[in-house]
Structure 1
Amino acid sequence: MKDKFRKDLEFVQINGHKMHIFRCGDESKPKLVFMSGSGTVAPMYDFKVLYQKLLDDYRIIVIEKFGYGYSDLYECPCDIDSLVSFQKQALKMAGEKAPYILLPHSMSGIEAIRWKQLYPDDIKAIVGLDMATPLTYMEWGDKEINSRLALMRKFKRLNDLGLLFWYPVSKRSLSKDEIQQHNLLKRRNLMNNCYINEAKQVLKNAGIVDGAGKADCPTLMFVSDGKQTSPNWINNEREYAKSVNAEMVLLNCGHYIHYYKSDKISSKIQAFLSDLQD
C-alpha cells in the first residue's frame, strides 16, 4: 500500500519520524493553520473543501500529526504540551514563521487553546471549526471517555478486517486521484493507536488546559447543531465563547461543519480576519 501513496509530499523529521505538512498559497499572506479533529484519516483532503475558498487571500497550512494523513504511525507522547510542541516544531522546521491563525476542528480545539497559553506570540487568532473546549471533556469524565475508546477499538478491528465501509468525507472538492488517496489513507490510518493514545489522554489534557487560564486572543467559533457530539455541546461552546469574548456562529449542520457550510464559513472568516487587520 505504501508504494501507492503520492510522491509529491513534504515531510519534516521529528524524533526520527516523518510528519507531513501541506502548504500552498503566498508566503507573504496571513497564515491559516488547520488542525484536525480526533481520528480524521486525511486532514489534507478533509479541509480542502474549505481552504480552497480561502487560498487567494491566505497562506494555507495543514499539519498532519503522527498517525494522521501521510505522517508516520509513530506512537509519540500524547500529553497536551508534547502535541503542541511537535506541531510548533514542524512549522519551524518547514521554514514557517509566526504569527499563525489556528483553525482547529473538534478535539484539536484544546491543542489550539494550549498553544496560545504556552506560546502567546505565536498565535494571532483562533477560528474554531466546531472546536472542542475543556468543559465538554471534563463533563464527560472517565465513563464517557472509556465508552468512546471502546467504540474506537471496535472500529479499528472492523477496519483491520476490511469490514468498515463508511467514513465521513466530503468529495465535492476532491479529484478522482485524491479520492483514491483518501481511501488508501482510510485503510491505513482509521482508528490507529495514535488516535487511541490521544483519546486516553484527553481528559487529563483538558484539565491542564482548563487550569492554565484563558487563551486571550481574537476568537471566532463556528458551532454545529451538537447532534453528532454530545447533549450539552452548544451550551458548553457558548460558555467558553463568553469566557474569552469570542464571536460564536451557530450552524444547523453536523460536526464536520466545513463539509456542509464552507461557503458561509469562508466568507465569515474573511470578514473576521479583515476586521483584525483594520
Structure 2
Amino acid sequence: MKKMILILSKLIAVFAVAIILFLAIVFLVNIVCSKIEQGKIETYGQSVAVDGKTMNVFIQGEGEETVVLLPGYGTAAPALDFKFLVDELSPFYKVVVIEPFGYGLSDLTEKERSTENIVSEIHEALQRLHIERYILMGHSISGLYGLDYVNKYPEEVSAFVGLDSSVPTISEKKIDSSIIRTIKLLKKSGLARLQVKLGDDPYAVLPYDDKTKEQLRILKHKNMYNPSQLNEAEMMYENFKAAENRSFPKNLPVIFFIQENHPVTDRWIPEHKKQIEDSINGKVMTFEGDHYLYRTKAKEIVEGFREFMKEVQ
C-alpha cells in the first residue's frame, strides 16, 4: 500500500509539473507572438480625434450619397472584414467604415460601453469628417446602437439598413462579473490564443487574399477580449433593456437583411418584421447563410438595398 501511495504521489507530482510547464510555455508563446504580430500590423484608413482619443475610419468610393458601416460585436478589424460589402457599395456610394474604440486600429477607452457613449463617439467621428447626411448600415449589435442613433440624429440619417441586426426584444443574457474575470485570465495567460488556434478559422474558406487574412488573424489576437470589448459585453444586457421601448421613426426607410433560419430562435424574422410594422417604408429580406451574411451575400445585399432605395425615393 505504501509503495502504491508513493507511486501515485510521484505521478501526481509529474502531472502537476507538466501542467505548470505547459501553462508557462503557453504564456511565453503568447507574449512572443504578440510582440512579433505588433510589428506586422499594417495601417489602413485614417485617424480621427474623438473624445481625446484616436478612432480609425476607412473611406472608399466617391458617390453623392454616403453609407456609414457599423460592425457587430467583437469584429476584429471592421474595415477589413467588410471588404466584400465595401467593394460592392463603393461604385455607387461613399462608404465610411467606423471602427469603434476597441476595434480594428482604434484606441481602447476606459469610458463605459453604454449605448449612449458608443453612439455619441460614432457621431463625433462623423462630425469631425464633416459628414452631415448618410445612410446608416449596421451589423448585429449595431442594430441596437443604430436604433438609438436614428432617434437622436433623425435629421442626419436618411435610411437604416440592418445586417442580421440585433432586436431589443431578443435580449442577450446578463454576463456575470466572474465570467469576465475568467475571460481576462484566459487572455492574460495566453490560453485564449491557444483556443483560437485550435478552433476553426472563419476566414479560411472565404475569398479574402492571403495578406488580408493574415491581418485579420493578427488583429483578432490583438483585440480579442480587450478591456473595451469586455466592458461592452458586460453592458450588453443593460443596453438591450434600455432599448426595449425604442422604435424606428415612422418616416425613416428601414430594410433588414437577415438569416432565413436562425440557429437559436424562431422569433428572428417575426421580431424584425415587428420593428417595421409602423414604418411607411419598411422591408425584410432573408437569405440562406450565417450571421455574417455580408461576407457571402454582399452582391445580393447591395442589389436589394439599391432597389429598395429607388422605391422609397
TM-score of Structure 1 vs Structure 2, range by shorter chain: 0.7 to 0.9
- Cα 1:126–1:15, aligned 2, differ >3 Å: closer, same or farther? same
Aligned positions of 1:144-159 closer than 5 A: 144-146=173-175, 150=179, 154=183, 157=186
Aligned to 2:121: 86
1:264 is displaced (CA, Å) by 1.3
1:129 is displaced (CA, Å) by 0.4
1:236 is displaced (CA, Å) by 1.9
- Cα distance in 2 for partners of 1:275, 1:155 equals 48
Aligned to 2:285: 249
Stretches of structure 1 lacking an aligned partner (at least 5 in a row): none
Aligned partner of residue 136 in structure 1, secondary structure: coil
- Cα distance in 2 for partners of 1:149, 1:228 equals 27
TM-score (norm 2): 0.78
TM-score (norm 1): 0.87
- Cα 1:171–1:53, aligned 2, differ >3 Å: closer, same or farther? farther
Amino acid at match of 2:307: A
Q: Which has the larger radius of gyration?
A: 2
- Cα distance in 2 for partners of 1:110, 1:20 equals 21
Aligned to 1:268: 304
Aligned partner of residue 264 in structure 1, secondary structure: helix
Contact 2:45–2:56 (8 Å) recurs in 1: yes
Aligned to 1:56: 91
Contact 1:224–1:257 (8 Å) recurs in 2: yes
- Cα 1:79–1:8, aligned 2, differ >3 Å: closer, same or farther? closer
- Cα distance in 1 for partners of 2:42, 2:108 equals 17
- Cα 1:192–1:244, aligned 2, differ >3 Å: closer, same or farther? farther
Aligned partner of residue 131 in structure 1, secondary structure: coil
1:124 aligns with 2:154: no
Q: RMSD between aligned alpha carbons? A: 2.6
Please give the per-residue CA displacement for 1:247-275, whole angstroms capped at 9, x wherever unaligned: 00111211111122222111111111223
Amino acid at match of 1:86: E
Aligned to 2:267: 232
1:46 aligns with 2:81: yes
- Cα distance in 2 for partners of 1:129, 1:250 equals 10
Contact 2:50–2:125 (8 Å) recurs in 1: yes
Contact 2:44–2:58 (8 Å) recurs in 1: no
Aligned to 2:72: 37
- Cα 1:181–1:100, aligned 2, differ >3 Å: closer, same or farther? same
Contact 1:156–1:190 (8 Å) recurs in 2: no
- Cα distance in 2 for partners of 1:253, 1:94 equals 34
1:41 is displaced (CA, Å) by 0.8
Please give the per-residue CA displacement for 1:86-106, whole angstroms capped at 9, x wherever unaligned: 0010111123x2211111100
Aligned partner of residue 116 in structure 1, secondary structure: helix
Stretches of structure 2 lacking an aligned partner (at least 5 in a row): 1-36
Aligned to 2:41: 5
| Aligned residue-pair number | 270
* Matched-pair identity in %: 26
- Cα distance in 1 for partners of 2:213, 2:78 equals 13
1:133 is displaced (CA, Å) by 1.5
Contact 1:25–1:55 (8 Å) recurs in 2: yes
